[in-house]
Amino acid sequence: HETAGLSAHQLVVRRGWAFKVTLLFHQAINWSKHSLDLEVQLGSLSERFPVHFTAQCYSPLRWSARVFPDNVHSHSVSVHVCSPVLSSVASYHLLLHIQSHHNMYNYELGTFVLLCNPWFKDDPVSMPLEVQLQEYIQSDYGLVYVGTHQSVRQQPWAFGQYEPGVLEACMQLLQVSPQHQSDRQADYLRRVDPVYLCRVLCAMVNCNDDLGVLAGKWQGSYMDGVSPTEWTGSAEILHQWMASSCSPVRYGQCWVFACVLCTVLRVFGIPSRVVTVFNAAHDANANLIIEEYYSSTGEKFNLSKDSIWNFHVWVECWMRRGDLGAEFDGWQVVDPTPQEKSAGVYCCGPCPVSAVQKRCFRCPFDASFILASVDADVIRLIVRDGLVMGRSVDTEWVGQLIYTKSIGSDKPENLTHTYKARSECVEMIHVCLSGGPPHLEVSLDMEKAPSMGDSICLCVTISNHSSHPRFLTEHLNAQLKHYNSCPTRTSGGRIFCVVFSVLTLHHSIQASQYKFLLTQDDIVNVAVVIKDMRSKARVMAAQEFNICSHQISIEVEGGDCIQMKKTCMAHVSYTNHCGNVLAGAVLCVDGYGLLQNKLALLQPGESIRASVSIVASSPGTKLLQATFSHSQSPGVVSRSFHKISVHN
Ligand SMILES: *[C@@H]1O[C@H](CO)[C@@H](O)[C@H](O)[C@H]1NC(C)=O
Ligand SMILES: *[C@@H]1O[C@H](CO)[C@@H](O)[C@H](O)[C@H]1NC(C)=O
Ligand SMILES: *[C@@H]1O[C@H](CO)[C@@H](O)[C@H](O)[C@H]1NC(C)=O
Ligand SMILES: *[C@@H]1O[C@H](CO)[C@@H](O)[C@H](O)[C@H]1NC(C)=O
């Protein structure tokens, strides 16, 4: 049933398909004198059905069992048991009843786990292509895209469906859910429906409102737990949750929540993938407008309840939406990061991606919130002494790029068009919002994504649509912000100029000016404010970007295909481009199934170079990972990974 590896102890089968149970007897049985019944039990619910020894018509809506004539022997009989395709996902008890003229014998045969069946066309989660099923159900290796839309980084993630204990943890999630605790019978009956399952599981991945898996934290110290950036897979998190009797595991951020939900959905047989939205809006009042406040010199204020994440990660799962109609079948967004409540609990979706594209605000579940995340407009307001001195609208910034890992490859698949179809009518709304074409326009562009040690080159373009000459002032401000938009440090500049029809101003920020930017996760917010000296009107533009760190190079002697149990050498090196900040520099090398322990390599100097010996303990794809950090940086400066395939 495509369940190999999910459990070493239990029978794991998929709904709608028959599985074979062979009954062995200590004495010969005359089958014309006995009849067999099977019974499946789920809590107080049960269904008893006869085992047929002759060809029969079966209802696909009921449990059924039959024996093929070849499988009947005096001491054994093999029974094919088939579940209805719309069965509840759960762990069932299987019972046997043997009846003769005089006696009735009852046996408990054991338990089995029943999962959704994406291979079967009648299951609402069915997926047509084998390559899709391999990627979205069976693959336990994934990539998460992070960073900014100009410089996208990829991080590997081990989904871990096949790690011992993961299936048990997933079953436990359903059993401890508030729905199950409050009404077991109703919960079992509703577990037929993938929409219901997704909603329950989405709420259970965060620990808000329930005994869920992960506690979120976005700032401050992670000393009393694990920093969200340190996790590398879901199994460790689920194990920790099980081992602590369902106490929350500290700490998660969006990609951790999403990857754990993706693992759980894949285990249950609901095709799913992890999706990154760059510049995702968190629109607290869901009005499709994100307001940002700036000073008249371009300094960003922390005033708005709304915010924009440089990236946000959620999950898409695949199903038919019987509750909505065929046009909403396909990928559905589910977002386990606790941001806003949906029907009273922290969970979001499933919401059809097609409903987002068609701008169906009321589509269940949570379409307006998801639509705002990918398609809100940013209104930047320039305020002074409590008054709005100018404003500009940016219709492009939010949801600029939406990525997932492509099937069977490490390349990203661009999903932007599946969420956003710009129509003329939408453009009209944007023009109305901005109050007609302004006489003065400004844009701010970066020539290329900067790397650490390079100057940052910015280009301000001012276009004039009026018939009068203008005297303008320009303020350019760059500040550091954390991942969730909190400004922390400011530096400014100021020049005067006169504009003709189009004027381009070039600015460059030297490496020595941003020395404080030391980790790959820091984001710079740059804003330019242009003021017309005569009319006092102001316009502005803003950009956000990160400074890419240089890659750690990892090479395996003799190529990336190695033999199991044979010692190989891997060479790891990193060259620092950030001046003399190598004090306390550490290059860490890590690899499950390749290295016994994490290795920390300390070396003074411009660059670090080291060779480590690796031995693979099992076949398959392994990852060798390396991180670089030093005593002056609060986080990891650079992180790289290298895929190695191990054969017998
Ligand atoms: C099984 O029982 C039937 C009916 O009582 C009888 O006719 C038949 O001979 C029995 N078969 C064997 C192998 O004992
Ligand atoms: C992603 O797709 C969008 C919409 O189709 C397109 O405008 C954009 O250029 C693409 N970006 C990349 C990096 O492929
Ligand atoms: C601004 O542009 C208009 C054309 O759009 C031009 O006629 C006018 O002279 C320009 N103003 C200045 C100050 O150059
Ligand atoms: C921004 O404001 C919010 C509350 O309005 C506060 O919780 C947060 O700590 C502030 N951030 C910074 C960096 O000041």
For residue 455 and ligand 2, the question of a CB distance below 6 A is answered with no
| Residue 306 Cα to ligand 4 middle (Å) | 12
Nearest alpha-carbon partner for 337 in 311, 302, 361, 303: 311
Q: How far is the CA of 438 from the centre of ligand 3 (A)?
A: 14
Question: Which of 33-47, 92-106, 272-286, 529-543 has the weakest average pLDDT?
Answer: 529-543
630 is catalytic: no
pLDDT at 19 over 50: yes
- Reported as a pLDDT band with limits 50, 70 and 90, residue 412 is very high
- The active-site residue out of 210, 283, 335, 521 is 335
Is the shortest distance between the CB of 28 and ligand 1 below 6 Å? no
Distance (Å) of CA 541 to CA 14, 162, 377, 394, 479: 54, 49, 13, 8, 14
Contact 32 CB / ligand 1 (< 6 Å): yes
Element (H, E) at 417: helix 416-419
Ligand 1 neighbour 73 (Cβ under 6 A): no
pLDDT at residue 166 greater than cutoff 60: yes
DSSP annotation of 206? B
The proportion of the chain whose per-residue pLDDT surpasses 90, expressed as a percent, equals: 55
Q: Is the pLDDT of residue 77 over 90?
A: yes
**CA separation for the pair 215, 206 (Å, rounded):** 6
Residues of the chain with CATH 2.60.40.10: 11-115, 438-545, 553-647
Give yes or no for a contact between 552 and 573, defined as CB atoms under 8 angstroms apart: yes
Give the whole-angstrom CA distance, residue 270 versus residue 279: 28
The closest residue, in CA terms, to atom 1 on ligand 1 is: 30
Mean pLDDT of the chain: 87
Smallest CA separation from ligand 3 atom 3, residue: 467
Q: What is the CATH number of domain 438-545?
A: 2.60.40.10
Task: Tell me which of 279, 401, 415 to substitute to probe ligand 2's pocket, judged by most ligand atoms within 8 Å of the beta carbon.
Answer: 401
**Looking up tokens 């395939």, which residue turns up?**
645
Mean pLDDT of 62-81: 92
pLDDT confidence of residue 493: 44
Helix (H) or strand (E) holding 474, with range, is strand 470-481
Q: Which CATH superfamily is 553-647 part of? A: Immunoglobulins (2.60.40.10)
The CA 27 to ligand 1 mean position distance, Å, reads 15
The verdict on the CB of residue 10 being under 6 Å from ligand 2 is no
| Nearest residue to 323 via CA among 201, 451, 141, 198 | 198
- Cα-atom radius of gyration of the chain, to the nearest Å? 29
Instruction: Find the mean pLDDT for residues 206-222.
Output: 92
Lowest mean pLDDT among 105-109, 434-438, 612-616: 434-438
Work out the percent of the chain whose per-residue pLDDT is above 70.
Answer: 91
495 vs 338, which has greater pLDDT? 338
The CATH class that applies to domain 11-115 reads: mainly beta
What is the per-residue pLDDT across 564-586, written as a single tens digit (0 to 9) for each?
Answer: 999 999 999 888 776 555 567 78
pLDDT in tens, 241-300: 999 999 999 999 999 999 999 999 999 999 999 999 999 999 877 788 999 999 888 888
> Would the CB of 489 count as within 6 Å of ligand 1?
no
Which candidate in 149, 239, 312, 475 is catalytic? 312
521 among known catalytic residues: no
Q: Given a cut of 70, is residue 198 above it in pLDDT?
A: yes
Amino acid letter at 64? S
Measured CA to CA in angstroms, residue 409 lies from 6, 95, 160, 172, 413 at distances of 24, 45, 18, 33, 10
| Whether residue 312 lies in the annotated active site | yes
Instruction: Specify the pLDDT at position 618.
Output: 80
Stated length of the chain: 648
Predicted pLDDT of residue 627: 85
| Ligand 4 probe mutation, 486, 490, 522, 525, most atoms within 8 A of CB | 486
pLDDT in tens, 111-126: 999 999 999 999 999 9
CATH class of 130-419: alpha beta
Is residue 438 over pLDDT 60?
no
Between 28 and 620, name the one with better pLDDT.
Answer: 28
Per-residue pLDDT of 500-528, as tens digits, reads 567 788 888 887 776 655 667 778 888 89
Q: Is the CB of 30 under 6 A from ligand 1?
A: yes
Where exactly does CATH 3.90.260.10 map onto the chain? 130-419
467 Cβ below 6 A of ligand 3: yes
pTM (predicted TM-score): 0.89
Q: 363 pLDDT exceeds 90? A: yes
Ligand nearest to the CA of 219: 4
Q: What pLDDT is attached to residue 71?
A: 86
Cα(636) to ligand 4 centroid in Å equals: 24
pLDDT attached to residue 495: 46
Q: Could you give the CA distance from residue 639 to residue 97 in angstroms, rounded to a whole number?
A: 60
Q: Please give the single-letter amino acid code of residue 409.
A: S
In ligand 3, the atom with minimum distance to the C-alpha of 498 is: 13
The ligand whose atoms approach the alpha carbon of 488 most closely is 4
**What atom in ligand 3 is closest to the CA of residue 499?**
13
